Structures are given as structure tokens and as C-alpha cells.
Amino acid sequence: MEKRNERIEVMNHLAVNMDDIVNKYLIPIDTNWQPSDFLPDASKETFFDEVKELQQAARELPYDYWAVLIGDMITEEALPTYESSIMVVEGVDMINEPQGWARWTRAWTAEENRHGDLLNKYVYLSGRVNMKAVEISTQYLIADGFDIKTDDDPYKTFVYTSFQELATNISHRRTASLAKKHGNNSLSKMCAMIAADEMRHHKAYKSFITSIFEIDPSEMMIAFADMMKQKIVMPAHFLREMNGEKSGVYGHFSDAAQRLGVYTGKDYIEITDLLLKDWNISTMTGLSGPAAKAQDYLMRLPERLTRLTDRIKVPELEYKFSWIH
């Protein structure tokens, strides 16, 4: 109970600056991009010609690319799971403090919502995708939820989001580069715009952790180590297809991402190393005994992960997803 009260006190202290946080890391709705900015306009006579052009460009994208793009889209569409998980975190009170962390969560969700909308419309118009199979996987992922081991702890939750937002940025940034490589400039721009959002969100969550370290360094260090000990799982780790088992298709999606170089084990290590440096983990002093042990664990982690990752071999065989025609 004492730890819980301390965390709520820290969260309430940070929430005093919510206006500044929102203004710094989120874009006003009226000036933000929307999915319709990048898609054929059905009200125009040129709509069908533009769709044909979109479909022609889509034919140039390889199979693994479609697997990754669709998997990314389904992950984005499972946004209700992510919002609801943050809304129950200690210090997030949507009833009594709707303008505090609940305000951030709603506004962050509103920006993220555009990502799934845009990619969903694109893959539908592409003509390359079995939309019913995709929709079934999406509904399953939302219904299954996820298990990211953060409980209702804001420190652990913000470690997770700091890490995951950067991982998502990397994935979308590389799908943008690959789309451009295959001559699909419109899709490249869509993915790049999503990636830019994810980077802003990463910087926001990373700054929250920076502030917590200034106030409660020992407990924050322990929470960071706890999250890394159990590994940062991807939000789509329960991904499945129709009549499939929970998590049944996630491994194949991850393999495709590794083959393409969209998101790899090396990226996991580099994100870990980046967070260690950005949060000044190696130079932090004045820690409690358990926190000092957590600090030592964290500083040894990249080398340990590198040894493990070097042993992993990515399967070369392409899995046949029900999503792709």
C-alpha cells in the first residue's frame, strides 16, 4: 500500500504539467494529418483511376512485406486494449481527475487511432488482402487482450510504452523505406507519417520516465529491471488466425519481420542500449541496495542479449497467411 501511494503521489506531481506535456508531444487535432489526406477520394471522378493506380503499385510488394504490413495494421487496430490497460494504471483517474493522466491517455489514443484507420483502408483498397481473415484476426487480438506484465504499475507501464513506441517507430520507418524501394511512394509516405507519430510518442513516454527517475530513482530503477527481466513482449503477441490458437501466428509474423529486416533481435538490443544511455543508468548514484543490484543487471543486459541473439536463426520458409490472396 505504501509503494502504491508513493507512485500515485509521483504521478499526481507530474500531472500538474499536463498542459505542457500535451502541447509538447501531441499535435492539435485541427492541424493534424488524417487518413483521407493519403487515400483516393471517393467523391471525385478520378477515384477509380486512383484505386487502380494504388492496386498496380501494391502488386510490386513482396509476400513477406504484406505479412508485416498487415500484422502492423492489426496491431494498430487493437488500440482499445492499449488504452484500457493505461486507464487502470495507478495515478490515472478518469473519474476524479479527467484532466490529468486520463486526458493524456485519451489524446494519445486519439492520435494512435489514425494509424489503424489509414492502414486498414489502404490494405482494403489494395485488392491483395483477404479482409475477412484480417478482420477475424483483429477481433481475436482485441478479445484476447495482451499480457505485458506491467500490472497497474505506472513505472513499469511507462517503461513498456517507452520501449514499444520506439520499436513501432522502427517497424513503420522500415516498411516506409521498403515501400519506396519497390516504387510505392504513396504507401511509403503513409508509413513514414505513422512512424513520425510513434517517435513523438516514444519521446513523451521516455520523458515521463526521466522525470520519475529524478523523483524516485531507486524504485524506478527496480521497475525498469523487473520489466527487462521478463522481456518486453510485443503488443500483438497473442496474434492468431481463424480457428487458430492464441499466439498461433505471432511467431510467423515475427519471422517475416526478421527476414525483411523490419524489426529484429538486434533492434531489441539497440533500443535497450539507447534507453540505458538516455536515462543515464550507468552514472546514477545514491540508490538503495536492491536498486544498485538492478542497475548492475541492466548494464550487463545488452551484452547478454547479444550472445543470445547471435544463436537465433530465422526460418527461411514463408508461412502462408490466410490474410493474403
Catalytic residues, which ones?
A: 33, 76, 112, 115, 165, 168, 197-198, 201
How far are the Cα atoms of 226, 250, 323 from residue 245, in angstroms, in the given order? Answer: 28, 10, 16
What's the CA gap between 314 and 298, in Å, rounded?
A: 26
Close Cβ partners of 247 (under 8 Å, ≥ 6 residues apart): 237, 238, 239, 240
Radius of gyration of the chain (CA): 20
Give CA torsion, residues 105, 110, 111, 113, to 10 deg: 120
Q: Which residue has the cell 467523391?
A: 43
154 neighbors 90 (Cβ within 8 angstroms): yes
CB 142 within 8 A of CB 235: no
> Quick one: cell of 251?
511467431
Cβ neighbors of 8 (< 8 A, separation 6 or more) are 90, 91
Handedness of CA 292, 294, 298, 301 (dihedral sign): positive
User: Cα separations (Å) of 106 from 52, 78, 82, 110?
Assistant: 37, 15, 11, 6
